[in-house]
């Protein structure tokens, strides 16, 4: 043992790395280690503080994201069917909008289609009904005309209310006309011209004595007015079909609210 100790000391003295100028190579830098360890500690503390200070609402949203993604990737059958029908409706309505603008395939017939649409507008019908009511001298005629005026006013109010609720726009970006603004017919669903045409045709078929050719022409007129709105790009196909349904329902409502001759005479005398 005493002999081995001097030998080891001699080896240490002879070792080049034990000299003063090489000591820094053998020993790690304590300052760097301390700075690195302190930096890691500070970053760990900052991460922990950030996790603690994070908003609970954000944590809940991050936990809900996988579930929402799964719901979007696995929609219900009703959602798939509804979206598919909606896409078909939009595609077919755009294809049938042959008079949507001057550059369309039937752009030259746009003026004629607009004229056909005016025949189903509410303002001309209300004005014509008032003129006929003033000139009418029979009680039966006044009764029919007063109930027709009631039907037209109900149609404008019901369609305007439904359009405000749905707020569906047409297949093309077409601004409504002046007459449309007067009757508050500014949205697409349901089609006001279609509901009015269906209601008027059903009303005349029930309360006027018409020959068979005239009855057929009346039905064809209602169909042409409805689908002319698709041709000029103002409404979808489903808007027109729903307008026909609402027009029939409005006719049934007017039949339930039918004003008698005495009531009509009282209203006319007040007016």
Q: What is the pLDDT of residues 198-215, one digit of tens each?
A: 999 999 999 988 899 999
Judged against a pLDDT cut of 80, whether residue 13 lies above it is answered with no
Under 8 Å between Cβ of 151 and 178: no
Q: Determine, yes or no, domain membership for 164.
A: yes
Q: What residue numbers bound the domain in which 129 lies?
A: 107-270
Q: What is the DSSP letter of 17?
A: G
Q: Determine, yes or no, domain membership for 47.
A: no
Number of domains in the chain: 1
Q: Determine, yes or no, domain membership for 180.
A: yes
Under 8 Å between Cβ of 210 and 169: no
> Which is the catalytic residue, given 121, 193, 207, 236?
193
Tokens of 267: 């209203």
Under 8 Å between Cβ of 194 and 243: yes
Q: Determine, yes or no, domain membership for 141.
A: yes
Phi-psi region of 184 (alpha: psi -120 to 50; beta: other; left: phi over 0): left
Task: Give φ, ψ of 74 to 5 degrees.
Answer: -125, 70
Confidence of residue 246 (pLDDT cuts 50, 70, 90): very high
Q: Determine, yes or no, domain membership for 216.
A: yes
Q: CA–CA separation, 224 vs 115, rounded Å?
A: 12
The predicted structure's pLDDT at residue 221: 95
Q: Which residues contact 241 (CB under 8 A, 6 or more apart)?
A: 194
Q: Determine, yes or no, domain membership for 60.
A: no
Confidence of residue 137 (pLDDT cuts 50, 70, 90): confident
Q: What is the pLDDT of residues 145-184, one digit of tens each?
A: 999 999 999 999 999 999 999 988 888 877 777 778 888 8
Does residue 193 carry a catalytic annotation? yes
The predicted structure's pLDDT at residue 51: 46
Residue 109, Cβ neighbours under 10 Å: how many? Answer: 15
Residue 159, Cβ neighbours under 10 Å: how many? Answer: 27
Q: Which residues contact 113 (CB under 8 A, 6 or more apart)?
A: 99, 106, 228, 231, 232
The whole-chain average pLDDT of the chain stands at 79
The stretch 98-102 carries a mean pLDDT of 82
Q: Determine, yes or no, domain membership for 14.
A: no
Judged against a pLDDT cut of 50, whether residue 69 lies above it is answered with no
Q: Determine, yes or no, domain membership for 257.
A: yes
> Which is the catalytic residue, given 121, 207, 235, 236?
235
Closest CA to 170 of 147, 190, 145: 190
Q: What is the DSSP letter of 100?
A: S
Does residue 235 carry a catalytic annotation? yes
């Amino acid at each position: 043992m005493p002999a081995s100790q001097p030998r080891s000391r001699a080896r240490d003295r002879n070792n080049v790395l034990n000299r003063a100028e090489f000591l820094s190579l053998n020993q790690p830098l304590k300052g760097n280690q301390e700075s690195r360890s302190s930096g890691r500690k500070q970053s760990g503390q900052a991460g922990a503080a950030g996790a603690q200070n994070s908003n609970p609402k954000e944590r809940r949203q991050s936990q809900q994201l996988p579930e929402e993604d799964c719901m979007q990737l696995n929609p219900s059958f009703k959602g798939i069917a509804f979206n598919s029908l909606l896409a078909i409706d939009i595609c077919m309505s755009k294809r049938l909008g042959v008079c949507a603008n001057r550059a369309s395939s039937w752009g030259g017939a746009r003026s004629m289609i607009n004229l056909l649409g005016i025949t189903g507008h509410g303002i001309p019908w209300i004005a014509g009904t008032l003129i006929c009511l003033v000139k009418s001298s029979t009680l039966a005629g006044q009764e029919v005309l007063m109930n027709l005026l009631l039907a037209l006013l109900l149609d404008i109010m019901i369609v305007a209310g439904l359009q405000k609720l749905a707020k569906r726009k047409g297949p093309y970006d077409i601004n409504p006309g002046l007459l449309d603004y007067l009757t508050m017919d500014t949205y697409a669903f349901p089609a006001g011209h279609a509901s009015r045409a269906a209601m008027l045709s059903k009303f005349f078929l029930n309360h006027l004595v018409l020959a068979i050719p005239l009855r057929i022409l009346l039905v064809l007129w209602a169909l042409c007015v409805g689908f002319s709105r698709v041709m000029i790009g103002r409404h979808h196909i489903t808007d027109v079909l729903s307008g026909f349904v609402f027009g029939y329902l409005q006719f049934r409502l007017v039949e339930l609210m039918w004003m008698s001759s005495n009531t009509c005479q009282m209203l006319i005398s007040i007016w």
